[in-house]
Amino acid sequence: MAKREFLLSPGPVNVPRRVALAGAQEIFHHRSERFQELMSDVDGKLKKLFKTKHFIAYLTSSGTGAMEACVTNLLKKSDEPIVVEGGKFGQRWGELCKAFQIKYHPIQIEWGRAVKSEQIEQALRANPNAKFVFTQLFETSTGTAYDIESIAKICKRYDVLFVVDAISSLGIVPLEMDKWGVDVAITGSQKALMIPPGLAFVALSERALKTIEASDLPKYYWDLKAYKKNFPYTPYTPAVSLLIELNEALTMIEEEGGVDAVMNKCESFARATRAAIEAMNLKLFSERPGAVCTTVQVPAGIAEKDILETLRNEFQIKIEGGQDHLKGKMLRIGHIGDVLLKDALGAISALELTFHKLGHRFELGAGTQAALESLSEMSMSVR
């Protein structure tokens, strides 16, 4: 029998019991008044997370499905988008372009660094044919938040469509879709939304909706025109039980004071964790961290695997290691989903005991102390 596992991953996250049990209720048909009511309820609340009044498409897929929907619906064969490649998920935009034979212009960013708006401007100047910029809000493979507000200004100035992958970060890292002029934002279900994986969401500005009319790339399941036309129904059978869970989770977010309160909570956990990491004589990985997960360099002489296994076996905590070329070199400690302050603090203490056991040199207790000091500086309401 496998041990219990408390997820401190950048997704999937712990699902609140109340949400999970809502999904276990008797199912109803996806062509019914009840489904219509559900979707109208969900949609009103989800728009507040996206900070948009525009259309949202509800896809039954992982977040990658939403990425594919962006590429195949927005682009024409002749388009040459700018793609920010600052980690595994930036590269995924590129891989999707390749799969659909789209010539794209990558901006290569060293993993752990944040793209600068000047680099976007430079790329747009160098490629005047480019009509799109694809990027992340938070590059989950490096734990780096990008400055979307500044990039949006550049995109507006150059009159290009701005597409933001916020799969792991919507509702965690600030994003003002309408106010900043982001044209397309996407997210997934198993992150801030606190439900199991299986749903993905694409929010589209009026300009983006016009753009998809002109696309000539092949698609069927991802055809966003069909999602627009059929709303509040979906063109193909949706994952109804997950939509019921989504509704419950969105209600919980509202009860907790709304999306900004949740963002503040995650940010306070992340800040306390960063303080603890540095006090434990460890190095942060990202130059511009965000509240989805904190990335930490694995110190010389200690194996990533031993850290992950100690946390899992002795503390029933699941954090994640590095991906691709960072495998073995990085820890990713999540702050999202159904996590309370005591969980975040407990995880910091568990990290201390783990590093102590594995022979890392630091003053035991210093991490927790730094976390508590970080938290004590915040007002109670933010905590």
* Residues at the contact surface with a second copy, assessed by CB under 8 A: 2, 4-5, 7, 9, 11-15, 17, 20-21, 23-30, 32-34, 37, 60-65, 68, 95-96, 99-101, 188, 190, 196-198, 217-221, 223, 236-242, 318
Which of 69/115 has CB closer to a second copy? 69
Per DSSP, what are the bridge partners of residue 58? 201
User: Please, what is the minimum distance in Å from the beta carbon of residue 32 to a second copy?
Assistant: 7
Q: Report which residue type is found at 345.
A: L
User: Please, what is the minimum distance in Å from the beta carbon of residue 241 to a second copy?
Assistant: 4
User: Please, what is the minimum distance in Å from the beta carbon of residue 116 to a second copy?
Assistant: 29
Which of 240/272 has CB closer to a second copy? 240
User: Please, what is the minimum distance in Å from the beta carbon of residue 5 to a second copy?
Assistant: 6
E strand or H helix at 247? helix 240-255
Which of 32/78 has CB closer to a second copy? 32
User: Please, what is the minimum distance in Å from the beta carbon of residue 219 to a second copy?
Assistant: 7
User: Please, what is the minimum distance in Å from the beta carbon of residue 17 to a second copy?
Assistant: 8
- CA distances for 380 relative to 71, 261, 267, 339, angstroms: 43, 12, 14, 17
Give counts: helices (H), strands (E), the chain: 14, 14
CA distance linking residue 357 with residue 220, whole number of Å: 54
What ranges in 51-157 are assigned the alpha helix state H?
63-74, 88-99, 117-126, 148-157
Which of 25/40 has CB closer to a second copy? 25
- CA distances for 270 relative to 114, 129, 151, 375, 383, angstroms: 18, 40, 24, 10, 11
**Neighbouring residues of 182: CB distance < 8 A, sequence distance ≥ 6:** 148, 152, 162, 164, 175, 176, 205
Which of 148/224 has CB closer to a second copy? 224
Which of 63/290 has CB closer to a second copy? 63
